[in-house]
Structure 1
């Protein structure tokens, strides 16, 4: 395969930018931590910043302040809790109280204390960061290996997507070939196959050949204006798929506007320039790590990058 990618111009700045973004959230126990744990049946399922907690306290039949946090008491089963929280969010949205709710997707995420735990309720996707609940996604790296006729060496080319200019988040930036959040009721691989067909028209039989190669996990803070923030807690399941030379993705549901097949040096240049949706940039960096194209002898921030991509959620 291709050799290690040495330290190019702008790369160190790009790495530091990723480290800052994905290390931006204060952690429980740290001096500056202000997030309030969100509890359901005594189990922590989220982290809520003070400004959002203030809005939720206006609904004491659903959200109750307890020592050190907020507890969801609106309902005694997943269905009742889902209905109670949906009512709160609908009112906050109608009153324009939380700007993020303007991104309403009519897509439900399951809320659980950890990946393997039973879901305690469902919540609208746009509200997941406001409640700081765990979000799970599936991302596909599609690539082609080509041999140079003169040198006999192999080079990896990666398929990338450019996000639609009409996307609510990160419009027009580069993305992995296919990616999506795991909606309520769907599995990890099922989501990857579904998104691959919907976004890039990857035939399901081909997408099903993708191999799970690990996951990335991180927490960071996003701000909507100066006051209302959100805690993004994500776990991304990563799949690699070597596609045939004659495969070409096609625009599907409009999430992507076009596709490119680029050598990894050009892909890395796009990371340098900040052209990627940030979490997709991390997926690319992970690919470079796993294929030996980022080497600890050449990357002084190697340990910090590995740590930021594998945080405890």
Structure 2
């Protein structure tokens, strides 16, 4: 198409470099850290004297209806000190969440998963309670997951990456591109258990291959949207898949798998086709495997720093 056939918006979009698009993506997934976010208005979520999250103002108002579970004082939301054990805290919070779900108070609870995530100040700390996955954004508690970059070395020495397309029936980001395997870290489940389980369920990868995955990094970011606050940390693994092995659709969460050269993967990650946090996992892969060079990539330092933002 000639320039005469392009609108001003199209021309402006085409002029945006890959680097600028990648930086925009990174900033979007760290928008809770940026000026104008709701962070200053959110209340720290405290459990036994430790901050474990951020509660948006509209959620604070609703939690005030349950004083036997949540105490609102000095600009904080504190779980009642009378709830002393993991079991007591988990049960009390679960009762409140079921009530809010029945009242259809928050849209995120329509995606109820019956899957629990554990809540703790840091990953190395003992969990203080567990909470329904779909509700974690109401409290801004950190969610953890496992993401696997599957790749294959070609006979000519080049590297191709396995990319998954999410099923159209997925409750979040249906039809978008994803890492070969990814899954949330459920309560009382280890990282390795999650890795092996998700490999088997999503891509029919046998345990003997899955356990060859190497832990290589974490990717951390915090974003907010109209559902709540999402501090997330993904444990990143690289898995070199043997030539000739093809991931197969397992539990129906994946529509299709593609084996793409890295140039094609790189271009795709800055498009609206890629699930945003999975694009960051690929960006981390590009940095670690020297597909980006600090002498030629103007935002190299910002990429590295932005992939490891944590509250």
1:156 corresponds to which residue? 159
Matching of residues 1-313 of structure 1 within 5 Å: 10-26=17-33, 33-73=40-80, 75-148=83-156, 154-224=157-227, 230-313=228-311
Q: TM-score, normalised by structure 1?
A: 0.91
Give 1:312 shift.
2.6
Structure with higher helix content: 2
Q: Structure 2 length normalisation: TM-score?
A: 0.91
8 Å CA contact 1:14, 1:274 repeated in 2: no
Contact 1:26 1:33 in 2 (8 A): no
1:9 CA displacement: 7.0
Tell me whether 60-69 or 161-170 shows the greater mean CA deviation.
60-69
Name which structure has the greater RCO, CA cutoff 8 Å, separation 6+.
1
Runs of 4+ with deviation above 6 angstroms? none
Tell me, which stretches of 5 or more residues in structure 1 are unaligned? Answer: 1-7, 149-153, 225-229
Between the aligned partners of 2:53 and 2:91, the Cα distance in structure 1 is: 18
Q: Write the distance in 2 (CA, Å) between the matches of 1:162 and 1:127.
A: 26
* SS of equivalent residue, structure 1 residue 160: strand
Structure 2 stretches lacking a partner, 5+ long? 1-14
1:294, 1:9 → 2: CA distance?
18
CA contact (8 A) 2:160 2:260 kept: yes
| Alignment length (residue pairs) | 295
Contact 2:231 2:310 in 1 (8 A): no
Deviation at 1:10, TM superposition (A): 4.3
Separation (CA, whole Å) in 1 of partners of 2:146 and 2:310: 18
Is the contact between residue 10 and residue 272 of structure 1 (CA under 8 Å) also seen in structure 2? no
In the alignment, the residues of structure 2 paired with residue 272 and residue 238 of structure 1 have an alpha-carbon distance, to the nearest angstrom, of 19
Q: Quote how far apart the aligned CAs of 1:16 are.
A: 2.8
Two-structure CA RMSD over aligned residues (Å) = 1.8
Q: C-alpha deviations, 1:134-189, integer Å up to 9, x for none?
A: 111001111011133xxxxx211000110011111100000001000100011111
**Counterpart Cα distance in 2 of 1:178 and 1:70:** 36
Cα 1:211–1:265, aligned 2, differ >3 Å: closer, same or farther?
A: same
Q: How far is the alpha carbon of 1:274 from its aligned partner?
A: 2.2
CA distance in 1, matches of 2:177, 2:39: 33
Query: How far did residue 106 of structure 1 move?
Result: 0.2
